[in-house]
Amino acid sequence: MNIFKKETDTQKHTLYGSILFVAGFLVIAFLFPEFFGQILSEWTYQVLDVFGSSYLILGLGSVGVLLVLAFSRFGSVKLGKEKAEYSWISWIAMLYSTGMGGGLLLRAVQEPVFYYSNPPRATSLSAGEFALEYTFFHWGFTPWAIYALFGLVIGYNLYQRNGSILSSSILTGIYQKSVLATLLDFITIICTVIAVVAGVGLGSRQLLDALSFWTGIDSFTVSQSIWLVVLVCVISTFSAFLGVNRGIKIISNLNIALATLLLIFTWILGSEWIVFGMFFNALGTYLWEFIPMSLNIGDQKVSHSFLTDWTYFYWAFWLAWAPFTGVFIARISKGRTIRQFVFGTMIIPALGTFIWFSVFGSNAFRLIELGEATSENFNSIYSAIFNFFELFPYSGFGNTISTILVFTFLITSVDSAIYVLSMFTDEGKPDPKRRYRLFWGIAIGLVTIVVILFGKDQLLQSISQLLILFALPFGFMFVGMVMYLVFQLISLEKKK
């Protein structure tokens, strides 16, 4: 028995249900902050503790499935009949800015230094090389594979089967109007909304730290923080309003240009040859140990507490971000073959990430070894990058570019999310109506402002934990969607 008579009714119920869920979460978190925070923390720990090993298998499986598809006869299957809509540079710039651009600034120095000072296990590598290997592991092939595989499912359905961008569009017949369809779209929308609010919260916090660095103000008022969020959301909404070609693409290209400039600047003024040595040694060991690290077996096994605090947490976080990032990747990937898709969405971004962490991590290690800094200088994910450049020549230039990038990376994450949510709301259309883009721009801004007003860091932590919890049902949904993709490709091959 169908609950909704028409597909549009299903869409409305999904949208209204998502809005009520987010509103209910904020009300409960505001009324019972300590109790709710404790419950979420306990649930998050239990989920990671019980299902963490499943996340490891899912992560390794995502990499394996993509590589098999890319190097098999399925690699030549094209997502649509048209030529590629965007150049390689613009395409990679957009998916990189959306996928983890802001996170790279947050963690560029802080995470490698943490592993440098707190190695998770014994190794024959130097402390710096081992720290880079684990940073590569958490930010390399696995997260990009999770993003890419979900994006490939959506992209194949959109361009090969003339479906829509909605997760539920993989269903056929009466199931398109069923509770299952509503549930798939509901989980996707909730993950996207929570992910972008968490992203805006983290990005705004780092931007405030940047402004503190420049102004000397230790802390900003709530009203000042709100005005910052308003500014970010207004620019992001305007970018989404202009569309992919005139808004999102231009800012993404600017991001990559500035990030490349900052990378070259750091490399030239830092230790050029040390960076090369550490990069190749860490990369070689990472590739050699990738499978046992991914399964946490053998000599590469680490403690359960490290897995829960880092690897399980990251894998669940990447999984929860996949709906938002994967759908946007699918939207901009028309005309690519599966082989090109895998190369451009997993291999190239991962290599770029490895180079990024090698340059910043290696130079941070050198500063510590020379006694010019201590690991405590780089403890904070918000201020580590600014403290790092303070120890460099021409520090004003490095911190200026970093500040601009914090701002522009935040813009590209939010405008992409606005665009994706608008597609969900407008029946999965690749070019949603502008009124939906305006609605989601305002909605994201309002929810983030409520977080700042009532919860501050505690509520932001609760939102991050809620995102981790939603990674579990999405994980089951993700596996089913991958099975659907493989079945469709096999069926396509049999028809030839």
* Residue 1, in any domain of the structure: no
Residue 458, pLDDT score: 63
HSE of 408, CA atoms in CB hemisphere, 13 A:
23
CATH number, domain of 231, equals 1.20.1740
What is the pLDDT at residue 5?
Answer: 40
* CB-CB contact of 411 with 239 (8 Å): yes
Which residue do the tokens 């991001």 mark? 255
Q: Chain-centre distance of CA 310, in angstroms? A: 15
- On whether the CB atoms of residues 94 and 249 are closer than 8 A, the answer is yes
Spatial CB neighbours of 421, under 8 Å, sequence gap ≥ 6: 189, 192, 193, 196, 436, 440
Among 283, 295, 297, 399, residue whose Cα is nearest residue 350? 283
Q: Is 447 helix (H, G, I), strand (E, B) or coil?
A: helix
Domain that holds residue 417: 7-495
d(CA 219, CA 205): 11
The DSSP 8-state label assigned to residue 337 in this structure reads: B
Measured over the CA atoms of residue 114, residue 228, residue 467 and residue 63, the dihedral's sign is: negative
Q: What is the C-alpha separation between 142 and 321, in angstroms, rounded?
A: 13
Amino acid at 435: R
Distance separating alpha carbons of residues 167 and 14, to the nearest angstrom: 12
Position 496 scores a pLDDT of 62
pLDDT of residue 421: 85
Let me know if residue 143 belongs to a domain. yes
Residue among 328, 366, 136, 363 nearest 243 (CA): 328
Best CA proximity match to 253, nearest among 412, 413, 77: 412
Low-confidence residues of the chain: pLDDT under 70 = 1-12, 99, 101, 172-178, 220, 245, 453-460, 496
Q: Residue for token digits 């898709």?
A: 341
Show the tokens assigned to 62: 């995502």
Q: Which amino acid is at 8?
A: T
pTM metric for this prediction:
0.90
How high is the pLDDT of residue 173?
58
Residue with tokens 């003024």: 269
Residue 2 lies in a domain: no
- On whether the CB atoms of residues 77 and 161 are closer than 8 A, the answer is no
Question: Structure tokens of 419?
Answer: 């665009």
How many CB atoms neighbour CB 87 within 10 A? 11
The one-character DSSP state at 5 is S
Asked whether residue 170 is assigned to any structural domain, the reply reads yes
| Partner residues linked to 337 by β-bridges | 78
Q: What is the pLDDT of residue 460?
A: 62
CB 261 within 8 A of CB 401: yes
Q: At 126, is the secondary structure helix, strand, or coil? A: coil
Number of structural domains in the chain: 1
Cα 472–477–483 angle (5° rounding)?
130
Structure tokens at 87: 């150049």
> Taking Cα atoms as reference points, which of 198, 246, 164 lies closest to residue 429?
164
Count the alpha carbons within 13 Å of 22 in the hemisphere toward its beta carbon.
25
265 assigned to some structural domain: yes
Calculate ∠ Cα 81-86-87, nearest 5°. 115
Q: Are 17 and 181 in contact (CB under 8 A)?
A: no
